[in-house]
């Protein structure tokens, strides 16, 4: 069975500081991995995804994530936080023929 764990339901960073949001998955084979962002009262928007190939994936708004098979992780980073990054972030995984599985989300607060 697949599962997704997002460590830290709330993360606060200062404007300009590094953003690190953690995601670990459990799967016997490498899954497809996604990060989504959700602003209040809106739907989810894809930030980036990993399918195959290069393990460092770049997404929109300066975010990137690295797939580490040995650590079963797909952490999301951004070098310098901006006020507009304040939102809810969801990690998701899927395997061939299966559903999408979402983590419980991490709420990011950016302190001016």
Q: Which CB atom, from 17 or from 49, has the smaller least distance to another protein?
A: 49
Sign for the pseudo-dihedral over CA of 47, 78, 70, 1: negative
Residues 6+ apart with CB under 8 A from 12: 108, 109, 110, 111
Give the residues lining the site for another protein (CB under 8 A). 9, 32, 34, 36, 41-46, 49, 51-52, 90, 92, 94-100, 102-105
In the chain, what is the greatest distance between 2 CA atoms, to the nearest angstrom? 44
> How many CA atoms within 13 Å lie on the side-chain side of 29?
7
Q: Which CB atom, from 17 or from 102, has the smaller least distance to another protein?
A: 102
Q: Which CB atom, from 28 or from 112, has the smaller least distance to another protein?
A: 28
Identify whether the C-beta of residue 9 lies closer than 8 Å to the C-beta of residue 88.
no
CB of 40 to another protein, least distance (A): 10
CB of 91 to another protein, least distance (A): 10
Q: Which CB atom, from 80 or from 104, has the smaller least distance to another protein?
A: 104
Sign for the pseudo-dihedral over CA of 12, 14, 15, 21: negative
CB of 15 to another protein, least distance (A): 26
CB of 66 to another protein, least distance (A): 18
């Amino acid at each position: 069975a697949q599962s997704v764990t997002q460590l830290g339901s709330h993360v606060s960073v200062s404007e300009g500081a590094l953003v690190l949001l953690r995601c670990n998955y459990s799967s016997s084979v490498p899954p497809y991995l996604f990060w989504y962002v959700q602003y209040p009262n809106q739907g989810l928007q894809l930030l980036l995804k990993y399918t195959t190939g290069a393990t460092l994936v770049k997404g929109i708004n300066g975010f990137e994530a690295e797939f580490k098979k040995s650590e079963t992780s797909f952490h999301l980073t951004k070098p310098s936080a901006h006020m507009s990054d304040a939102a809810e972030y969801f990690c998701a995984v899927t395997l061939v023929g299966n559903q999408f599985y979402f983590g419980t989300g991490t709420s990011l607060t950016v302190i001016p």
